[in-house]
Structure 1
């Protein structure tokens, strides 16, 4: 009787740990809750610059990897 009760308690505890964890976000939620700097990232061969996906950073933009940052012309 006690061993059966202990077994049930152990199974319930194990199930709560495995099922009670955080669920993985779906693709829509993952995209929606990304940081603002990465939210508008383009697919790997392209870079994000001035609201568009481009192959090379336009004049006046600095290459930051997946994005192009505006380069201030002030000195």
Structure 2
């Protein structure tokens, strides 16, 4: 006599719970917008003065030229 088998039912989320999945750009775009606004607030002179490493200063300068050119 075969043993009874129990089938597993798929687990479903409760009716009151919502699953939220964001695409990659939903996080990247606000981060880029925040960085751009922060650079606008800081101004071009303050960004160069804050950079201690010359390579970092050049990089910030190139990024700022991209926005203000």
Larger radius of gyration between Structure 1 and Structure 2: 2
Higher RCO structure, 1 or 2 (CA under 8 Å, sep 6+):
2
Higher strand share: 1
Q: Same fold (TM over 0.5)?
A: no
Higher helix share: 2
Normalised to the residue count of structure 1, the TM-score between the two structures is: 0.23
Normalised to the residue count of structure 2, the TM-score between the two structures is: 0.24
